[in-house]
A and B are shown apart, each in its own frame.
Chain A
Amino acid sequence: MAKQQANWSPYDNNGGSCVAIAGADYCVIAADTRMSTGYNILTREYSKICKLADKCVMASSGFQADVKALQKQLAARHLIYQHQHNKQMSCPAMAQLLSNTLYYKRFFPYYSFNVLGGLDNEGKGCVFTYDAVGSYEKVGYSSQGSGSTLITPFLDNQLKSPSPLLLPVQDAVTPLVEAEAIDLVKTVFASASERDIYTGDKIEIVVVNATGIRREYMELRKD
C-alpha cells in the first residue's frame, strides 16, 4: 500500500517580506503590503505589521490567518499584563512572550515568520528574529519571508558587524541615522521586488523612536 498523502493542507503561504533594523535610539520595521496565494494576488493593500505595545511592533510573513490569530493572542495577553502590572510591556518582555506563544503550538505551529522591533527599557533600538516555533535571538537587523534570501545578503553587506566572537564586544545596533536606515530599507525592498514575485505593491514602514511611532509608505513594482 502506497504511503498516504494528505489531500488538504491546513496551511497556505501568503508570501511577502519583512525587515527590521535597530538603531541607537530608533527602530525601523517594514513589510510589503502584497498578499498572495499561489500565483495569484489576493490584495495589494494588506498590512503585515502590528503594534503590540507602546514601543513594540511586530511584522510577520507566512500564513496570514495564523499571523492574525497570533497577533490577537499577543494583544489579549498584553491587556492582561497591563491590568496586572499597571504598565506597558517592554520589547524584551514581549519578545519572550512571543517565543513562548509560538512554542506552545510546537506540534501544530503558527505558520508565521516574525520580526519584532522596538525600543528596550533604555530607549535603544532592538530587533528580535524568530522561526515558526519560537526560537529567537536579539539582533541588529533581520529579514523574514519570501524575499529574505534576497534581502539578508544585502543587509549583511551594509550592516553586518564583525564577528561577535571578537573582543571588544561590538554593539549589534547599527551606527546609521534614522533617515539612512529608512533609505536602506526602501532600497532593499526595491531590489527584492525585482526578482521575488511575492514581494511588491507597497512598503509599509513603521519607525519607533522616543517621540512615538510613525508610519510611512512607498510604492513598489506592481508586477
Chain B
Amino acid sequence: MASALMNVTASALNWVSVSFDAPLARAVVFGFPVDGHLVVEGLLIAVILFQLSRKSYKPPKKPLTEKEIDELCEEWIPESLHPPITEEMLAQPPILESAAETHTVIDGQEVVNFASANYLGLIGHEKIIDSCVSSLKKYGVGSCGPRGFYGTIDVHLDCETRIAKFLGTPDSILYSYGISTIFSVIPAFCKKGDIIVADEGVNWAVQNGLYLSRSTVVYFKHNDMTSLESTLEKITRQNYKRAEKMRRYIVVEAVYQNSGQVAPLDEIIRLKEKHRFRVILDESNSFGVLGNSGRGLAEHYGVPIEKIDIITAGMGNALATDGGFCTGSVRVVDHQRLSSSGYVFSASLPPYLATAAIGAVNYLEENPTILASLRNNIASLRKGLSDVPGLTMASSPLSPFVFLKLKKSTGSPKNDLQLLDKIVDRVLKEDSIFIVTTKRSALDKCPLPVGIRLFVSAGHSESDLLKASESLKRVAASVLSELI
C-alpha cells in the first residue's frame, strides 16, 4: 500500500518537474522554432483578457444644450384652444320668460312646453313654493360648505331619511347636482382591476364615471338581454379563479336618456344572481314615474328593492328640483360618505332645494293618482304620433318622454341633426309648440341615433297633446318630403 502511494506521488512529481522544465524546451510556431512556448501562450491569454476588459463602442450621448432647447421652444406653435367657429356653434337656445311649466312664454308668446322633464307637473306648485320660501328665509340660499365642514343642514338629513322611507331602503345620501351623482358613485365603488359590464347606450355622465373608475369596461348591445347573458358568461369563465377578490358590476339605466327604452329588471336580476354581479341602476327618468306609487322600476317589475345593490337618481326630473341621491344598504351608503369625490369635495345642496324635494316626495305619496294622468297623457300622445311621416317612435310605451327618430337616416348624425333642427324650429315658430332635438357633445361616445324628444307632463291637457301631434305631422311632412 505504502509503496504504491509512494510510486504514484513520485510519478506525479516527475510529471510536474518535466512540464516545469518545458519552457526551456523547443516549440514550433508557424514553422519557426520558438523558445519557451508557455511564454507565448501566456502572452496570448494576456491579450485576450485586455480586449475583453475594454468597453464596447457606444456612440456618445449628447443631451440637448440650453440653446437648442430655446430654439425648440421658439419653433413650437400650439393649436388654438377652440376649433374654428362654425354656423351651428352660433345657435342660441330659446330664452324662457316665465316658469318652465306646461305653458310657458318665449319671446313674448305663449307656447306649449314639451321640453321640460316636469313629469308630475310640480313646477309652480303652490305648497312646495311656500315651503321653499320659508326655507329661504330661515337658511338663506347656499349652504356655504361641504358636508364634512358645517355644510350639513338638518333639512339634508330629513330629506335623506324621507327618500329612504319612501323607497323602503335603510338609508340614502344626497348629492348637490344631478349628473355628478352617477359619475361620483361609480368611481367610489369600482377601482382598477374590477370589471364593469355596461349598456352601450348609457349617457355621458355614466360614461365619464366608467372612465374615471379605471376599471375594465365591457359594453353589451343596447337593452339586449341575450348579449348581456353571453357577456356575463364569457367574463365568469375567464375570471373564475379571481372571483372572490374581484368586484363585478352591471351598470344600466332604468329609462335610457338616449333612446327611451326601459331595462327589463327581472331578467337583469336573474342574470346578476346567477353570475354574482352587483347592479348599479340609474333611475333619473323613472323615479316618480314607474310603478303603482311611483317608487321606480323595482316596483314596476315587482322586484324587492333589496335585490338592487345601488340605485342612483337625479332629482331634476320628476321631483322638479335639483340635485341627486343614491340609496342602497347601509354599507353602500356609508362607504360613499368618505370616498365619493362629488360628496366630499363639493359644497352641499342648497337647503331650499332639499325642502322642495321633501315636499315633492310628500305630494307623490299623498296623490298617487297623478301617475294615472301621466300614463294617460303618454298613451294619447303616442297614439297621436304613431303616424308621423318620416319619423318613428323608438321609445318604450312606459317611458315618460317620447323619442322620435328618422325612419331613414341620411347617413351622418350631423345631417340628421340639421333636418331635425329644421323641423323643431318650424314647429316652434308656426304652431308655438316647444320640442327639442337630442344634442350630442363631441365627447359623447354613444352610438345610438339622434332624434326628437317630447317630455310628457301630468299637467298637459288633451288639447295640448292633440295640437302637438297635428303640428308635428304637418311640419315633418313638409320638411322631410323634400328628401323622401
A is bound by B: no
